[in-house]
Chain A
Amino acid sequence: MSVLYVVVPLALVIVAIAVGGYLWAVRSGQMDDLETPALRVIRDDE
């Protein structure tokens, strides 16, 4: 079971990176308007 002492902290690091990414997304305003970007992308290349 000693592998746990390596894998569990590693999992925590990965979680921390994911949470960091999420915080960056929220704080840079990517969650402010969830509707318009979805519409914008449909017509972008025309």
Chain B
Amino acid sequence: MATLLAPTPVADATDTVCTHCGLPALGADAIDGPNFCCSACATAYAMINAHGLGAYHRFPERRGAAVRPSGRAFSDFDHEAFTARYVHADAAGLMHVELALEGVHCASCVWLIERVPLLVTGVAHAELDVRQARASVTWDPGATQLSDIARTLDALGYTPHPYRGGERAAMRKRDDRAMLVRIGVAGAIATNVMLAALALYTGGFNAMDRGSMQLFRWLSLALTIPALLWPGRVFFTGAWAALRTGTVHMDVPIALALGAAATRGAINTVTGSGPVYFDGVCTLVFLLLVGRFLQARGQRAATDATEQLFALAPATARVIQADGANLEVPADAVAVGALIAVHAGETIPVDGEIVAGESRLNRAILTGESDDVHVTVGDTVYAGTLNRSAALRVRVNASGEDSRIARILAQVDESARRRAPVVLLADRLASRVVAVVLVLAIVTFALWMRRSPAAAWDHAIALLIVTCPCALALATPLAMSAAVGRAARAGIFIKGGDTLESLSRPGTLVLDKTGTLTVGDTTLVSWSGDASLKPIVLALEATSSHPIAAGFRRAWPDVRASEAMQVTHTIGSGMTGVVDGRSILIGSPRFVAAELPHVAWPAWPDDASTPVIIAVDGRIAARAGFGDAIRPDALASLTTLRARGWKTLLLSGDTAAVSQRVGAALGFAPNEIFGESSPEEKAARVRSIVLATGGGHTPPCVAMVGDGVNDAAAIAAATVGIGVHGGAEASLATADVAMTRDGLAALVALTDGATRAMRVIRRNIMWAFGYNALGVALAMTGHITPLVAAIMMPVSSLTVVLGSWFGKTFTVEAR
């Protein structure tokens, strides 16, 4: 998600801040020199400065987040299968690829990414599209490899993935350009015909000479014909397609009104008498096209979802051949039963069973657990999970579309398709309005036919023009895009206007726990022991990249670490070492008990946190409790939402005990808490809630709020899916609403904004409908003159435009 404004730095002026990212730099004390919060930031800083791009660090709005490279080797990016699929060669022998990047968000990202040619020799050109977070890179295959480029981007914090929706994007670009061309031409013609019409109306009052009148009439006709044949043709083809399939569609009365008015206008031009209607015809074409464009753009964003999800699964797998050699094969072409090698730091490309090696896996993508888990021979691993610490050999059980993540993605797709009924309802309503307008026009024609054919024609056409859903067509899309725009500036990204409608009425709010209600990190929540042990603990933990170690460093930013020696790590258990001449042991209770079997353990209060035990010189000295801290604004926001009538449920992949504890602290009733839910169960539960509350004219909204890919299926199954800040890019992509603002207060802002936006829309429709009703009455009684019609049309549209623009929907905070 791209924002124009950078998040505010979290460090106080008195803190030492990381020179690269601006976050507090722990344990650093150099006054003048550069300080860093982590080695990744130091690497990125060194790389940027070594190539004379130091200006980056003087930008005030650069990224306010530590660099988190994936550390992958990206060797699959050089593989033939990858090249065949994503890389294109141009005539000059240069290669070209589109990469989806993580972590792109501001002006300095554009600056830095587009200077990659300076960082990697051989890169000819790099261009970034901020909104899509997509970079197109051109390089010389003789001078560098794509894996080098990918590693550089990764080291800067923009982890690249191959962009897999190239063809659809190209098609969309063509559609967009064609639409803009139509709007531009229609707009230019409409304004000029309006000018001619103005001359005709004023001329009519001031006795303009007949020659000049005819000049303007013929001029309008000459301009209207191309307007109908070029930009306006879409309405005629649309109406024709609808009639051929025997349905009525908004396009039918529009085409009828345009055709009848233009024909009648042309006849009046030739005979030199009567109104010409051309101004109405051209304005109608223009405004309808604008309305459609806005609508199409809003709906489009929602379809981007699965494309971005697919970017997460690796493109190739390393298959071990009978002779022991490795062969890279596209991940979806790996045979069941094959043996593959997965290096440390790589994402596992298939589902399978470990046959050799042990390591730590981050399975957050599937389960939402933020902690790494220890896996060994015989354990099942899933595609999309990240292998953190050591090489593994995996026997393949399922690959490609059969893998668990692919099945979850298929559910996402299915859930997205199931939204169609809402659209159908809107179409049915529209065709009802259309039928009424057509009937009224026929009635008007018949009534006035008894007086004179000329009057019958004029009044029926006047009716069709004046009831044309000009303002009505603009009322909803314009108000929605105005609200969506305001929301985006407030850090809430809404895809599709139907989301706003759903959220405007209270319903059921289903919340994920880890990362949504809680911070999602491993946080030190309790410490039972002497404060003098802190530097010792930090000394050992400084040598580890384990989340627990990061938790200690975050918890004690002011503590100076001592020096540790003879450090040994036992994966998944703990570590030992010597600090200040004392032998130290840090690890899980089981690890410590195994190392020191005969010592006494002090009694600590059980605070339901995960314990880490510290032993000094063979004596149990301290206990650190780790847990997942609840977001500070969670309780207040939930209380507000409940007061507004929302029913809240908690749905978590974590254990029942932890879910109950967190839920109780946040005011959930025990029967509103569902722990130990797999991604599939989460989606099934959300779907059943949607079914249970569904039915009726306007079913209440079921909103799912989550952050991980494990929530993606549930997010898609809900009426409205909401991805919260800090979540996986994938869940942000699947969600109808993505929030880049921290905390749950944004949820309150979202529902309030949606309610106000719907109020604006209802007001717009009321205005537009009122004008139309008045127009119908005047046209049917024959009171409408061309002058009145010409004034009514733009005034009604203008009311709607102004109403949308100044409607107070989302509050944009001053930053």
Contact = CB atoms under 8 A, between A and B. Distances in A.
A10 interface: no
Nearest to B212: A1
A23 B184 contact: yes
B219 A26 contact: no
B215 A8 contact: yes
Given A35-B130, A39-B4, A4 B215 contact: yes
B128 A32 contact: no
Contact of B212 (A4, A15, A39): A4
A40 B110 CA distance: 6
B110 A36 contact: yes
A39 B104 CA distance: 13
Contacts of B111: 40, 43, 46
Main secondary structure of the interface of A (DSSP, over half): helix
Nearest to B177: A26
Contact of B215 (A5, A32, A36): A5
A40 B188 contact: no
B209 A36 contact: no
Contacts of B180: 26, 31
Interface string B118-133: 0000000001111100
Residue of B58, B106, B114, B184 with most partner-chain A CB within 10 A: B184
A42 B58 CA distance: 13
B176 interface: yes
B219 A15 contact: no
A8 B200 CA distance: 14
Interface string B200-221: 0000000011011001000100
A33 B108 contact: no
Interface in B157-208: 173, 176-177, 180-181, 184-185, 188, 192, 208
B59 A19 contact: no
B406 interface: no
B107 A42 contact: yes
A46 B56 CA distance: 9
B533 interface: no
Nearest to B223: A12
Given A1-B212, A33-B129, A8 B219 contact: yes
A46 B55 contact: yes
Contacts, number: 70
B234 interface: no
Contacts of B130: 33, 35-36, 39
B2 interface: yes
Contacts of A22: 184, 188
A43 B173 contact: no
A5 B216 CA distance: 10
Contacts of A11: 192
A19 B184 CA distance: 7
A39 B219 contact: no
Contacts of A1: 208-209, 211-212
Nearest to A11: B192
Contacts of B192: 11-12, 15
A36 B131 contact: yes
B209 A31 contact: no
A18 B181 contact: no
A39 B219 CA distance: 43
Nearest to A36: B130
A22 B177 CA distance: 11
Nearest to A9: B219
B131 A35 contact: yes
A40 B127 CA distance: 10
- Nearest first, the 6 A-B pairs at minimum CB distance are A39-B107, A43-B111, A46-B55, A22-B184, A36-B130, A39-B110
15 contacts: A4-B212, A8-B219, A12-B219, A31-B176, A31-B177, A35-B131, A36-B110, A36-B128, A39-B106, A39-B107, A40-B110, A42-B107, A43-B59, A43-B107, A43-B108
Interface of B: 2, 4, 55, 58-59, 106-108, 110-111, 114, 127-131, 173, 176-177, 180-181, 184-185, 188, 192, 208-209, 211-212, 215, 219
Given A19-B188, A36-B110, 17 more contacts: A1-B211, A4-B215, A12-B192, A12-B219, A15-B188, A22-B188, A23-B181, A29-B177, A31-B176, A32-B177, A33-B129, A36-B128, A39-B110, A43-B55, A43-B110, A43-B111, A46-B55
